[in-house]
Structure 1
Amino acid sequence: MTTNLPDLRILSTARIRGHGLLLRPWDPDSEADAGAWLRGNTDPEFRRWNTPITPVTDRAGARESLRTRAERAREGAAATFAITDEDSGTVLGHIGMNDVRRFLASAAVGYWVLPEARGRGVATRALGLIADWGFTELGLHRMELDHVVGHEVSCRVAERCGFRYEGTMRGALFEEGRRDAFRDAHLHARLSTDPPPDIASGPASGSGAASGSGAALQHPGSVSGSGARSGSGAASGSGAALQHPGSVSGSGSASRPASASHPEPAQ
């Protein structure tokens, strides 16, 4: 028996609006889109947390990368959205479903935000939009994301959008700049049956406060720089604390990028 999902070719044409954002397909033939894709993929902070299978290093590579993703969207296997300002159309970042699994009615989400757009809740708003759309319009049952252990900002974005921490995956992602070594990742997921988070009423992602529909996520024994999570940026939620050791954080600044990764096919 197969899950009754709609024609997934809509992944190539869908446009999602809300929270001051418009999520629209990237255009491989647009010089502006190719330039934004190149900037996002070569940003040092993006590279710190993500090691793509096929790195994007120039405009030709950016256009080819976007063409590959557009083709996968037409096949109903993935979706690749530019996060844009709803009023100005300015590109702020990227969010996508990298692995749509029809039989399981599930998908994996990845995202990043351009440097000039960080600290404004862009990742939180975009993740909330694509999650709501995936559950209501696509009929998905489960959406998940993962990120490198120590990426505190991405943890907070996930929690804020109702993606609960489910565990640490050992050796799940490439080490920074390497494809012959691996590092651990946190797995977060949200089900269609989970209570929806109240994204609009809380603080922007990266502001130091995290809340969601489930348990608060705390990192005992974390190594931090100038801003430990136990200080002014303590996590809070409606349930008991869920603890998982081994996280390493930097300064906790809102300017750190929010990004989540999921292994993508070679391009």
Structure 2
Amino acid sequence: MTDVKNSGELPGLVPVLRGHGLRLCSWDDGSERDVEAWLRGVTDPDFHQWNTPLKAVEDMAGARESIRSKLAATANGTGASFRVADAASGTTLGHIAVNDIARLTRCARVGYWVLPEARGQGVATRALALAARWALTDLGLHRLELGHALGHTASCRIAQRCGFLHEGTLRGAMCEAGRRDAFRDVHLHARIATDPEPALP
């Protein structure tokens, strides 16, 4: 999209990104299917094993509000959240977001999850490749960071496949699963705009 090329700003809606058999597009808080998929994604036990959301989502109302908060971040230029869908069928497979966009330093953090039935198919890898390319070119970011809890080997492999180099370990940087009084270490990966783009199989 030429209107956001190297601007570090969003036009209020995320663009539609296509490639690797996927379609990345905006979530729709008015769609029951979108809200139901979001609810399943953020209440899945595997999601909670590796993430401790700041605000728990437990029902459709909470899921709808969570999507609205993501849309608001897109509108004010601090984030960009994509529904990850199969390019052919349109079926929702997961979520990927470019969060905490800092215009001054041109830096952001990326996060994702995949629905249980879509795991093991390279969805997160393919979605991250698409989102990272967009963020580091059209959106004009210089640096993308990716952090995951120590021991989350699947996320580590995804980061490495997509050219996110392991830069170190952040001590006690994430809450333990389901807790606010205990912390765990985080692997920090990052990719910058001048890094070569990896070729996916």
Shorter-chain TM-score tier? over 0.9
Structure 1 residue ranges (4+ consecutive) displaced by more than 6 angstroms after TM superposition: none
CA drift of 1:95 comes to: 0.1
Q: Secondary structure at the match of 2:101?
A: coil
Matched, 1:79 2:80: yes
Amino acid at match of 1:192: A
Q: Which residue of 1 aligns with 2:15?
A: 14
> Which residues in structure 2 correspond to 1:74-153 (within 5 Å)?
74-153=75-154
Q: Which residue of 1 aligns with 2:169?
A: 168
Q: In the aligned structure 2, how far is the partner of 1:169 from the partner of 1:39?
A: 29
Q: In the aligned structure 2, how far is the partner of 1:12 from the partner of 1:50?
A: 26
Residues 24-43 of structure 1: CA distance to partner in whole angstroms, max 9, x if unpaired? Answer: 01111110000000000000
Contact 1:93–1:113, Cα closer than 8 Å, also in 2: yes
Matched, 1:62 2:68: no
Q: Secondary structure at the match of 2:112?
A: strand
Q: In the aligned structure 2, how far is the partner of 1:15 from the partner of 1:27?
A: 13
CA drift of 1:196 comes to: 1.2
Q: In the aligned structure 1, how far is the partner of 2:11 from the partner of 2:111?
A: 19
> Which residues in structure 2 correspond to 1:115-264 (within 5 Å)?
115-199=116-200, 201=201
CA drift of 1:11 comes to: 5.5
Q: In the aligned structure 2, how far is the partner of 1:134 from the partner of 1:41?
A: 24
Contact 1:11–1:78, Cα closer than 8 Å, also in 2: no
Contact 1:144–1:188, Cα closer than 8 Å, also in 2: yes
Contact 2:6–2:137, Cα closer than 8 Å, also in 1: no
Q: Which residue of 2 aligns with 1:218?
A: none
Q: Secondary structure at the match of 1:94?
A: strand
Q: In the aligned structure 2, how far is the partner of 1:14 from the partner of 1:8?
A: 12
Q: In the aligned structure 1, how far is the partner of 2:134 from the partner of 2:58?
A: 32
Larger Rg: 1
Q: Secondary structure at the match of 1:38?
A: helix
Q: Secondary structure at the match of 2:199?
A: coil
Q: In the aligned structure 1, how far is the partner of 2:9 from the partner of 2:92?
A: 25
Contact 2:14–2:81, Cα closer than 8 Å, also in 1: no
Q: In the aligned structure 1, how far is the partner of 2:111 from the partner of 2:11?
A: 19
Q: In the aligned structure 1, how far is the partner of 2:188 from the partner of 2:114?
A: 20
Identical residues among aligned pairs (%): 57
Q: In the aligned structure 1, how far is the partner of 2:164 from the partner of 2:86?
A: 24
Contact 2:171–2:184, Cα closer than 8 Å, also in 1: yes
Q: Secondary structure at the match of 1:8?
A: coil
TM, length-normalised to structure 2: 0.95
Residues 24-75 of structure 1: CA distance to partner in whole angstroms, max 9, x if unpaired? Answer: 0111111000000000000000000001000111000000011111011000
Q: Secondary structure at the match of 2:10?
A: helix
Q: Secondary structure at the match of 1:179?
A: coil
Residues 73-122 of structure 1: CA distance to partner in whole angstroms, max 9, x if unpaired? Answer: 00011011110001110000000011111001111000000000000000
CA drift of 1:12 comes to: 2.0
CA drift of 1:10 comes to: 2.6
Distance of aligned partners of 1:13 and 1:107 in 2 relative to their CA distance in 1, 3 Å threshold: same
Q: Secondary structure at the match of 1:171?
A: strand
Higher strand share: 2
Q: In the aligned structure 2, how far is the partner of 1:19 from the partner of 1:115?
A: 20
CA drift of 1:8 comes to: 1.9
